[in-house]
């Protein structure tokens, strides 16, 4: 049986500085630097959010060489760039699995091909569609497989923020639930019918130094 757990939540920002400021204002903590992703031309900041999961703030690295492919998380898309220029956004979620090849084969929603990712000494396998887009506009998770399954969250800064709930508004919740159940990820998020076709999205509820806060 496939094993899946929440690995991390992704906040996309037009710059790391704007992402750090956004989280600091909302949650009352300053997320420290993570590292760079040379293959994708991105960099990040990271912190624990409990349960072996972490929060990632990611942005295009203006100092990095332009990649010869589409960046992950659809960061090259003009619409995405416009939205995160307004403010950083809770962009997508990532699930870790103990068998990424089997999970990809089992899912009724294609997460894309499996590629190797690297940041410093960290190495992992991750699903990335060739055109950089996200399945279900980020409402279906990216899949990741770490060598020891647990992933790197335990080594990240613990600033006292804890994820209390992850909620997804989707135009076809039964479809999304079926795909998640097939990969062993049932009940990892609350999935509801979107109010209208223009209102799907992610909502994460955090217990933080600023109290109970929702990021979206």
**Kind of pairing between the strands at 142-145 and 89-97:** parallel
Q: What is the pLDDT of residue 1?
A: 82
- Do 162 and 206 contact (CB within 8 A), yes or no? yes
Domain boundaries, the chain: 4-159
CA angle 26, 30, 31 (to 5 degrees): 105
157 pLDDT exceeds 90? yes
> What is the pLDDT at residue 121?
85
Say what the pLDDT of residue 105 is: 97
CATH superfamily of 4-159: 2,3-Dihydroxybiphenyl 1,2-Dioxygenase, domain 1 (3.10.180.10)
**pTM (2 d.p.):** 0.95
- Between the alpha carbon of residue 151 and those of residues 7, 161, 192, the distances in Å are 7, 18, 29
Q: What is the mean pLDDT of residues 61-68?
A: 94
Structure tokens at 83: 């939205």
């Amino acid at each position: 049986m496939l094993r899946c757990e929440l690995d991390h939540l992704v906040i996309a920002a037009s710059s790391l500085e704007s992402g750090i400021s956004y989280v600091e204002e909302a949650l009352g903590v300053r997320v420290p630097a993570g590292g760079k992703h040379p293959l994708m031309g991105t960099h990040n900041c990271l912190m624990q959010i409990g349960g072996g999961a972490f929060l990632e703030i990611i942005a295009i690295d203006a100092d990095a060489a332009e990649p010869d492919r589409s960046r992950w998380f659809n960061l090259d898309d003009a619409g995405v760039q416009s939205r995160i220029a307004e403010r950083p956004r809770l962009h997508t979620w990532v699930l870790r699995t103990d068998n990424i090849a089997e999970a990809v084969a089992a899912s009724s929603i294609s997460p894309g091909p499996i590629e190797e990712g690297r940041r410093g000494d960290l190495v992992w396998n991750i699903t990335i569609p060739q055109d950089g887009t996200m399945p279900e506009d980020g409402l279906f998770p990216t899949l990741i497989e770490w060598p020891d399954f647990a992933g790197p969250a335990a080594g990240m800064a613990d600033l006292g923020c804890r994820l209390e709930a992850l909620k997804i508004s989707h135009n076809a919740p039964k479809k999304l639930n079926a795909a998640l159940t097939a990969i062993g990820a049932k009940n990892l998020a609350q999935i509801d019918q979107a109010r209208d076709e223009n209102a799907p999205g992610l909502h994460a509820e955090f217990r933080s130094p600023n109290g109970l806060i929702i990021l979206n």
